[in-house]
């Protein structure tokens, strides 16, 4: 097994050229009940490009900038260059993803796209919920883009730009509607600072009060803001990060449960075992056996 250091530099994944057209700047990926690439399971990574995904059916959990998202049916998920992504599990997926690079956006006919809210993402959002009418519109535009991406020719670039402009403009309108007034800047910033502190110190500190002290506020105030901004208790953010790291170590290394417990700041393996089972429903050993049987 590959041994990975939790402190290593987060890798950046480039956009792989399209298998059919060889396009290095624009690509459409489509899943119909198939499994995505499993090589980056539980590996924090960044992409050097933008990714817009129309999820028809999924139900898996992924992390974007240390915020977990359970991918909802008939929804849009989007990331830009340098967002940290962790795919926590793999299940069958029904989705279409549209990827494009900064080089694509720098083309004269595409420069206007860089000014759209979905691309600028001032609220640091990553999920758009769609109505039935939205689903019909998005499905139609995504299919048009998918079909055009398979038809190289002198008009392809203009057609892709036209379709993508309509889609991103439509999604930008939804973005402004869904994120308008959602968060006060101060509270949103506090949530982001809390998540950043967890990502840096989760192996050492497991209590909300310890993070509140780092942020120079009371534990009560931190708990209140985090719950209002994220919908879940502050302690759950800490526990989720510990579980995700535990899963990564159990899957990608052969280290003993005692070593993993120590790595994650638990006083003994039995305490770690109880914690992991409480949070996931299975023991660490059971999870290791199950996931290796599934993916190896």
d(CA 282, CA 88): 16
**Cα 3 off chain centre by:** 23
What is the per-residue pLDDT for 5?
Answer: 41
d(CA 291, CA 23): 35
Where residue 55 falls among pLDDT bands split at 50, 70, 90?
A: very high
Q: What CATH architecture applies to the domain 185-295?
A: Orthogonal Bundle (1.10)
Task: Determine contact, residues 75/128, Cβ cutoff 8 Å.
Answer: yes
CATH class of 12-179: mainly beta
- Would you kindly state where each structural domain of the chain is located, as residue ranges? 12-179, 185-295
Of the chain, the percentage scoring pLDDT greater than 70 comes to 95
Tokens of 93: 């997926």
Pairing mode of beta strands 26-34, 93-100: antiparallel
Bridge partners of residue 77, in order along the sequence: 53, 127
What is the per-residue pLDDT for 3?
Answer: 36
Contacts of 113 (CB under 8 A, 6+ apart): 105, 119, 164, 165, 168
Of the chain, the percentage scoring pLDDT greater than 90 comes to 61
Q: Report the range of poorest mean pLDDT among 31-35, 134-138, 143-147.
A: 31-35
Task: Determine contact, residues 21/152, Cβ cutoff 8 Å.
Answer: yes
250: DSSP letter:
H
Phi, psi of 243 (to 5 degrees): -65, -45
Give the HSE-up count for residue 279: Cα atoms under 13 Å, Cβ half-sphere.
21
Residue 182: pLDDT over 80: no
Tokens of 157: 């670039």
**DSSP helix/strand/coil, 97:** strand
Question: Is the four-CA dihedral 140, 112, 172, 31 of positive or negative sign?
Answer: positive
């Amino acid at each position: 097994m590959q041994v990975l250091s939790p402190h290593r530099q987060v890798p950046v994944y480039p956009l792989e050229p399209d298998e059919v057209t060889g396009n290095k700047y624009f690509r459409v990926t489509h899943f119909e009940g198939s499994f995505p690439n499993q090589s980056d399971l539980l590996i924090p990574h960044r992409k050097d490009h933008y990714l817009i995904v129309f999820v028809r059916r999924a139900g898996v959990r992924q992390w974007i900038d240390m915020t977990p998202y359970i991918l909802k049916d008939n929804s849009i998920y989007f990331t830009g260059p340098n967002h940290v992504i962790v795919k926590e599990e793999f299940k069958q997926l029904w989705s279409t993803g549209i990827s494009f690079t900064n080089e694509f956006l720098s083309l004269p006919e595409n420069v206007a796209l860089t000014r759209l809210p979905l691309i600028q993402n001032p609220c640091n959002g990553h999920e758009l919920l769609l109505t039935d009418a939205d689903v019909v519109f998005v499905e139609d535009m995504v299919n048009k883009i998918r079909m055009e991406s398979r038809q190289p020719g002198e008009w392809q670039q203009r057609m892709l730009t036209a379709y993508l402009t309509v889609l991103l403009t439509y999604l930008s309108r939804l973005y402004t509607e869904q994120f308008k007034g959602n968060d006060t800047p101060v509270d949103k910033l506090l949530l982001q600072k809390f998540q950043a502190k967890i990502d840096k110190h989760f192996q050492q500190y497991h209590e909300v009060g310890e993070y509140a002290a780092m942020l120079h506020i009371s534990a009560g105030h931190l708990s209140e803001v985090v719950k209002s901004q994220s919908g879940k208790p502050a302690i759950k953010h800490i526990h989720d990060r510990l579980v995700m790291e535990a899963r990564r170590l159990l899957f990608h290394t052969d280290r003993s449960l005692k070593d993993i417990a120590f790595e994650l700041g638990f006083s003994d393996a039995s305490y770690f075992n109880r914690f992991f089972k409480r949070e996931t429903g299975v023991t660490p050993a059971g999870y290791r056996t199950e996931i290796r049987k599934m993916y190896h």
